[in-house]
Amino acid sequence: MTRPENLQKKLQHIRATWAKHCNQVLYMSSQSSDFPTVGLNISEGRSQLYWKTIRAFQYLHAHHLQHADWFLKADDDTFVVVENLRYLLSHHDTEEPVYFGHKFWPFIRQGYMSGGAGYVLSREALRRFVQGFSTGRCKHFSFVEDMALGRCMETMGVKAGDSRDPNKRETFNPFRPENHLISPKNGKQTWGYNYYKTSRVSAAGSFSLKILVILHLNLMVTVANTV
């Protein structure tokens, strides 16, 4: 997911690095371009994020539902280790209604996946999400994309799966690397600490060696270019 001004600044780095390891990549934006991007015909801005996500998944459902088993939504400041993601998903059935990401807990009974870390839907999860809007069971009730999507998923019986590694360390990481790797000074936690129930957000050792997703792209592109 991107916006027109980030095509050269961010998207070209994704295309040159982790996107090469995907079976198929679609770049979604508010407008079409020859990058290429799929234009969703929606205004840019934080208040439009959930509409943008809804339109993107409706497009995937209409045109690509049978072209993939799993559907990853990631923003243009995200770096994904695709091989590790495949390993996680190999233990699950795409016809199971489930989605994975970094789980936050407020507001939704089963929790919901952080939008910043990205999330991946099974084919059945995508099918149910789109069905939720076509039947009116899901509504655009908030511009807070990840929480609103999580509400729809729960309504439609899509399970919020656990993507942590066998040592209960996170694989989807929505914060800067130092927030996951270094314990905070004076016990001061990141804002996400209050959104997280299963273990500490900011703590040395909470960062899985089987990492799947991390922000921020500028740092990770530097790492990728030196390997």
Residue type, 29: S
pLDDT tier at 216, thresholds 50, 70, 90: low
Task: Specify whether the CB–CB gap between 78 and 217 falls below 8 A.
Answer: yes
Using CA atoms, how far residue 189 sits from 126, 139, 147, in Å, is 34, 33, 21
**Strand, helix or coil at 79?**
strand
More confident residue, 217 or 3: 3
- What digits encode the pLDDT tens for the residues 114-144? 998 899 999 999 999 999 999 999 999 999 9
How far is the C-alpha of 160 from the C-alpha of 219, rounded, in Å? Answer: 29
Exposed, middle or buried: residue 155 (CB in 10 Å: 0-12, 13-18, 19+)? middle
- What digits encode the pLDDT tens for the residues 167-206? 888 889 887 766 666 666 655 555 555 555 555 544 555 5
Exposed, middle or buried: residue 86 (CB in 10 Å: 0-12, 13-18, 19+)? middle
How far is the C-alpha of 178 from the C-alpha of 170, rounded, in Å? Answer: 14
pLDDT on residue 123 = 99
Question: Ranked by mean pLDDT, which of 25-34, 187-196, 204-213 comes out on top?
Answer: 25-34
Polymer length in residues for the chain: 227
- What digits encode the pLDDT tens for the residues 43-81? 888 889 999 999 999 999 999 999 999 999 999 999 999
How far is the C-alpha of 101 from the C-alpha of 185, rounded, in Å? Answer: 27
DSSP character at residue 32: -
Mean pLDDT, the chain, rounded, equals: 85
> Six-digit token pair at 83?
């091989």
> Is residue 152 over pLDDT 90?
yes
Q: Residue 60's CB: how many other CB atoms inside 10 A? A: 22
DSSP character at residue 214: E
* CA neighbor of 168 nearest in space, from 142, 119, 206: 206
List the domain boundaries for the chain: 68-226
pLDDT on residue 26 = 97
Using CA atoms, how far residue 187 sits from 70, 181, 182, 208, in Å, is 39, 14, 11, 22
